[in-house]
Structures are given as structure tokens and as C-alpha cells.
Amino acid sequence: QVTLRESGPALVKPTQTLTLTCIFSGFSLSTSGMCVGWIRQPPGKALEWLALIDWDDDKYYSTSLKTRLTISKDTSKNQVVLTMTDMDPVDTATYYCARMRIVGATRAFDIWGQGTMVAVSS
């Protein structure tokens, strides 16, 4: 059974750096084609993709946010970490991690975590 679970602070102050951890089980991020991504969703709004890391340690970032994001993995611990710098109240959202399996040109998140709500406020 594949599961992912996000963890991190529920509240951060403006200008601070957010660090989120995704702990997963049921698959290995060293297997060819495996990826883990981060997606966020502000309250009442649409999903927004943030970052993706693949089995080969290649990293991909949202064009609009890439200057603020860093994604990394620890394969031995089955963990993926996302950091986002210079947090602002508009970054208040539920943050999800999700698994993606790359098969040819197919890119879809087939398993999602439960999400973690992060509020940005002083």
C-alpha cells in the first residue's frame, strides 16, 4: 500500500522560511520513473503545482516560484523535503505531497497525501 504523509508547522510568520517534509511508504524513490511532487491549494482556490523530484535526483520547479523553492530527497529515509523562503500571507494554503510515476509522456499524480495546512501570519 502506497501512502504519503506531510508534516510541518501549522503557522509561520511573514518572511520566514517554511520547511515541509513528506514521508512515504510502499514505493522507492530510487526506482526508475518514480517522482514525488508538492502541490498547494489556498482556501477555496485551485491546485497549484510547486516542485517535483525524480528518481535520478532531477528537480523541477514552478516557473513562477522557483526562486523561493528547494526540493530534496533522502531515499534511505523515504523522505522528500520542500523549503519555501520569504513566506507571505498569500502562501497560506494546504500543502500536499503526491507520487508521480513517469511512463513515457504521462505525468499524473496517482497517490496523494492528506495535506497539511500552513497559515502565514504575524
Partner 1 sequence: SYELTQPPSVSVSPGQTASITCSGDKLGNKYACWYQQKPGQSPVLVIYQDTKRPSGIPERFSGSKSGNTATLTISGTQSMDEADYYCQAWDSSTADVVFGGGTKLTVL
User: Cβ(84)–Cβ(17) under 8 Å?
Assistant: yes
The helix or strand, by DSSP H or E, that contains position 75, with its residue range, turns out to be none
Torsion (CA) 66, 74, 102, 4 in degrees, nearest 10: -90
Q: Which of 60, 75, 92, 117 binds partner 1 (CB under 8 A)?
A: 60
d(CA 121, CA 23): 26
Work out how close the CB of 69 gets to partner 1 at its nearest, in angstroms, rounded to a whole number.
Answer: 13
Q: Cβ closer to partner 1: 76 or 104?
A: 104
Q: Cβ closer to partner 1: 32 or 63?
A: 63
Q: Cβ closer to partner 1: 24 or 96?
A: 96
Characterize the bridge pairing of strands 79-84 and 18-25.
antiparallel
Q: Which of 24, 55, 95, 96 binds partner 1 (CB under 8 A)?
A: 96
Residues that bind partner 1 (CB under 8 A): 37, 39, 46-49, 52, 60, 62-64, 96, 98, 103, 105-110, 112-115
